[in-house]
Amino acid sequence: MPLIDDTADGSAGSGLMHHKFLIADGHVLVTGSANFTPSCIHGDPDAPSTRGNVNHLLRIESAPLARVFTGEFRRMWGDGPLGQPDSHFGLGKQEGAIQRVNVQGTAVDVLFAPHRREDPRNGLQVLAQVLDQANAQIDLALFVFSAQNLADTLAKLRARGVRLRLLADPGFAHRSFSEVLDLLGVSLPDRRCAIEADNQAWTSAVETVGVPRLAGGDKLHHKFAVIDRRTVITGSFNWSPAAAHGNDETLLLIHSPPLATHFEHEFERMWRGAELGISPRLERKRAQRLKACGRGRPRMAPGR
């Protein structure tokens, strides 16, 4: 099987070639959050206690949707190994706007990343616009959540009375750059005692934010949200600047109440027994940083 990687365009590669999709016979698409590895699906063979990272895959039969993904593949593939330097990864792909495909009556919006920060079509802007349309409820299951603009959007939604529930990966939820901390009303200095310059910890913490209980070594690797029980946000796209501006990524918006129900079932499964609010582990970490750093100092903006 011939293969290339994301240095085939002559560059050092994109941030990450982070796509997770395959196309079969021009009409079957398999995609979602799962890497095609045992640890992402079944558990690590060398660690019997693991059960596999918490993930999802979608199998969609649609020739029009498969064509959209084939176009993305061809931008990256070019003419393949030993050919001309016509493969494009990262910003070299010059990704465009979101594309809508009708899949047997269901509207599916597809955005491929990355985009330049100043490009209004970038994934973080798309997510903010979609979230802002919520009327009643948003449930989120996220591996990484480090985009300040999305935390600010959720703050506005909460002020409008939208119900928020968020489950995040335990390994990332309480890192200093995590926006999960904003929702918990916590500002946590990093190891250099610096706090993000635009950090906006909420004055009133959300009690419906936390981490699921997982087998040791497993991760919550989902990147999904369900809006008003009718729209599913999914794909390989973590809610981070790196996903929007550096990585090769897929962002999908699927407008389907039946599919939303399936994702809600998965969310409720993780919700049972989840550790919500400021956990004892986070409280200890906050106390340690307070002792070492006080309230911390603002991190200098890039270029300064």
Calculate the average pLDDT of the chain.
93
CA distance between the termini of the chain? 47
Range of weakest confidence among 35-44, 64-73, 177-186, 247-256 = 35-44
Region class of 201: left (phi > 0), else alpha (psi between -120 and 50), else beta: beta
Exposure on the CB side of residue 295, measured as CA atoms within 13 A: 3
Asked if 17 and 94 count as a contact pair (C-beta separation under 8 A), the reply is: no
Query: 22: Cβ–Cβ under 8 A, 6 or more apart, which residues?
Result: 29, 30, 31, 36
Give me the mean pLDDT over the 244-254 stretch. Answer: 98
CATH numbers and ranges of domains, the chain? 97-294 (3.30.870.10)
pLDDT digit string, tens, across residues 16-49: 999 999 999 999 999 999 999 999 988 888 888 8
pTM of the model: 0.93
Strand partners, 60: 29
Q: Would the pLDDT of 227 be above 50? A: yes
Amino acid at 54: V
Report residue 10 as tokens.
Answer: 């002559």
Q: Would the pLDDT of 72 be above 90? A: yes
Q: Please state, for a pLDDT cut of 70, what percent of the chain lies above it.
A: 98
Give me the mean pLDDT over the 247-274 stretch. Answer: 97
Q: What is the pLDDT of residue 220?
A: 97
CA atoms of 232 and 79, how far apart (whole Å): 35
Residue 123: closest CA among 272, 248, 263: 248
Q: What is the pLDDT of residue 207?
A: 93
Residue 227: closest CA among 152, 133, 156: 133
Q: Report the length, in residues, of the chain.
A: 304
Q: Which residue has the tokens 């200890």?
A: 284
Q: Would the pLDDT of 162 be above 70? A: yes
Three-state SS string across the chain, please?
A: CCCCCCCCCCCCCCCCECCCEEEECCCEEEEECCCCCHHHHCCCCCCCCCCCCECCEEEEECHHHHHHHHHHHHHHHCCCCCCCCCCCCHHHHCCCCCEEEEECCEEEEEEEECCCCCCCCCHHHHHHHHHCCCCCEEEEEECCECCHHHHHHHHHHHHCCCEEEEEECHHHHCCCCCCHHHHCCCCCCCCCCEECCCCCCCCCCCCCEEECCCCCCCCECCEEEEECCCEEEEECCCECHHHHHCCEEEEEEEECHHHHHHHHHHHHHHHCCCEECCCHHHHHHHHHHHHHHCCCEECCCCCC
